[in-house]
Chains A and B, each alone.
Chain A
């Protein structure tokens, strides 16, 4: 009876009804269908036959078992190290009165906006057999083998500890200092206070950050491809199976094995941990007062932060320097030739990437806001499921998405391979969660009474949306646009399966250049990409400042 009523209510609102249908069609077609295809294909060793042969082989042959273990091992180590570093960083910035906080925070976010494999490239330039550090510090023999497990640990930790840092910083700032001060005035020392008060309160955040980094490391494709050497991980094995041997069933099977742990991590993080949060709601505004500790403590925390910031600078600086050298490792004469090369021979790649990302980004933002609006403001059956599905691509590794699109859209009725559309669709649906999440968060903050006021004053619900809700959503919208744009520009793991002669992407080109050991060219192209991202960032700042509601009000007032 309840469902019947619900459905009847929706049928009374044709606009809402058609929107829900429209979004479900898109989500099923471009999120669920491709992933299902990967799953089906992994049970289909030959056309027309369905059985478990693929998995039997995957678990019996050493050459498939090794990547499975390797991937998990790498994920666990990277997540643990990243969370440790992220915690130190977040604690220093949120709770200890160290200098240069803004600076540390900005630098820590570098790796998030840069192409993912720049750090791997830097690792080769610095620590390879012929690297700058290897030659300068270690006298020609590398301190350890960077092509393999330890190299990947270093590179992925630098790339993903910012995720842990941001998650933990949010948690730590939400822990009210009152509690810590209470503990201190009751006689506990700072050490005990940390372990008995602060740390337990931040534990859900720690687990959350761990799972996020674990998933990112599992899904990473660019770094292991460049730096893995003989240490094979699932994403690379799946890629080699498919593009190297055209054994799609095996590639799909590997992709499914990659998908399972990341999905588990995603659901645990999202639906279990988020409820476990101990963050105390007191009604009073929670105040975070940074501790003013002893001098030596402050120095230690500052030094720890400095070490990591220096490492980031060293890595990015090396790539920048490399982009201006004539022939890395042999002739370090400075030259602009690599940039000239980037803008002549590789202009097509830059142009295509820009065009595709620029088309995909607004579509992604609009769709994300639409879904967020439905999920946060409307009542209809399947609301939670719609939200979960739209967030799903966050959890699904790019490799799985790429294989899925390759399988799903290479046959009738929807032949999309080789078109711009397939790349745009991948961008849109992979970055969709950003828009949905930002939108939902923003909508929960906007009091419904504002919209109700508009309705009471006689505006239609349509007009209310365009004139009231949407303008209030603008900052979240632009933020989602920026993130989607950056992530599209720097994406590699999914799109590498569907790039074609007509539409090429700069990240694929960079990966090719690294694979070919044209390191200086790769460095220059990476910096062109970073440049574009920075321009986009300033554009976004400009847009948010000029179009946000607050500014309009301020302007109207003055």
Chain B
């Protein structure tokens, strides 16, 4: 028995020593099946070991805020820039500049280097074609199409406070309609919604499975997780302009491994890494990178210019209003 105890203590001790090895810790908002594409390639290219936790952007922001006295990860990888702007305002990020970051056009990065873009994405609708046929309706091509009685209880998206995708939807509506009108609209939409998810892209699979008929998400997620997987999903855009995101990454303030984080950010901006995004139908920021043939380009869709600084700053207030008036107000 005592030998057993000694052995146990040795194991515990060994674990703590083992835990000290230099490893890069990343929090990512990218899909569980997407981040390994880049992270495995990075590990192979540099020999640096990486550990990743996946959370939705909102959860990620909350986590970094909770850990601000004792940061556990060095890089925030992926998810809309909006959330990273919100994090910058809260003083949770550290500025990072390098040669690779300099090359990124100024529209796609923070002027002070707090975040840098990786890809674009536009908000779109993913609809289950079989159910559309059953219901006898056309796929939605306007925000107001979603209010049709046929779609009642058949739409889903994520909570704007857990998911960067859904917050981008909220920001888009505010940008397109004006704030008060956007909230009036969402009150109507709320009655149509089957349920809210925590993760932004989950509604695509749900539409594919037929659990719901229409999901509201990013176009690349609808292509990759819906159409490319073989689900009977069709992609449409709202004809009033739709909104978009810049997917971004940033260094977390007090990062435990700043050198490795810098290496990762630089590598992620290289043409080599950016070309990997073909696999997820994303539009890379680096113009030298390859683009997937079916992917949606910014110029293909009617997009409204979005003031990310504003929406990043206003996030807490807008979310609060959303909860008060929409989620629980009705």
Contacts and interface: CB of A to CB of B under 8 A. Distances in A.
Interface of A: 61-64, 66, 124, 128-130, 140, 147, 225, 228-230, 240, 242-246, 248, 327-331, 345, 348, 355, 359, 362-363, 366, 406, 410-411, 415, 417-420, 466, 470, 499-502, 504, 509, 512-513, 515-519
Interface stretch (B56-64, B104-112, B301-309): B56-64
A363 B15 CA distance: 15
Contact of A518 (B33, B63, B323): B33
Contact of B161 (A245, A362, A406): A245
Interface string B1-17: 10011001001100110
A406 B211 CA distance: 35
Contacts of A225: 198
Interface of B: 1, 4-5, 8, 11-12, 15-16, 19, 23, 25-27, 31-33, 36, 51-56, 58-59, 61-63, 65-67, 69-70, 72-73, 134, 159, 161-162, 193-199, 201-202, 204-206, 208-212, 229-232, 319, 323-324, 327-329
Contact of A245 (B8, B55, B58): B58
B32 A417 contact: no
Contacts of B202: 515-517
A139 B183 CA distance: 37
Given A359-B12, A417-B72, 5 more contacts: A64-B328, A66-B328, A229-B195, A327-B229, A501-B72
A515 B55 CA distance: 11
A384 B298 CA distance: 69
The CB with the most chain A CB atoms within 10 A, among B33, B204, B211, is that of B211
B157 to A, nearest CB: 13
Contact of A515 (B25, B198, B209): B198
A130 B197 CA distance: 18
A362 B8 contact: yes
Contacts of B231: 327, 330
Contacts of B12: 359
A128 B70 contact: no
The CB with the most chain B CB atoms within 10 A, among A243, A328, A406, A509, is that of A243
A111 B208 CA distance: 30
A244 B162 contact: yes
The CB with the most chain A CB atoms within 10 A, among B32, B159, B229, is that of B32
Nearest to B204: A517
The CB with the most chain B CB atoms within 10 A, among A63, A147, A245, is that of A245
Contacts of B230: 327, 330-331
25 contacts: A129-B212, A130-B211, A228-B195, A229-B195, A230-B195, A244-B56, A246-B66, A327-B231, A328-B209, A330-B209, A330-B230, A345-B36, A348-B51, A359-B12, A362-B4, A362-B8, A363-B8, A366-B5, A410-B66, A417-B67, A420-B19, A502-B72, A512-B199, A515-B202, A517-B204
A64 B323 CA distance: 11
Top 6 nearest A-B pairs by Cβ distance? Answer: A63-B328, A517-B205, A130-B210, A246-B62, A229-B195, A418-B72
B195 A499 contact: no
B27 A501 contact: yes
Contacts, number: 149
A512 B15 contact: no
A221 to B, nearest CB: 13
A411 B66 CA distance: 10
A427 B194 CA distance: 36
Contacts of A245: 58, 62, 161, 319, 323
B319 A359 contact: no
Contacts of B52: 501
Given A329-B208, A330-B231, A411-B69, A501 B195 contact: no
Contact of A246 (B65, B197, B323): B65
Given A63-B323, A359-B8, A516-B32, A499 B53 contact: yes
Contacts of B55: 243
Contact of A415 (B70, B209, B211): B70
B105 to A, nearest CB: 31
Contacts of A516: 31-32, 199, 201-202, 205
Nearest to B26: A501
B53 A500 contact: yes
A516 B202 CA distance: 4
A418 B72 CA distance: 6
B212 A410 contact: no
A64 B33 CA distance: 35
A337 to B, nearest CB: 12
A518 B53 contact: no
A330 B231 CA distance: 7
A245 B210 CA distance: 30
B1 A466 contact: yes
B71 to A, nearest CB: 9
Nearest to A500: B72
Nearest to A124: B211
A517 B206 contact: yes
A417 B70 contact: yes
A271 B26 CA distance: 48
A331 B323 CA distance: 38
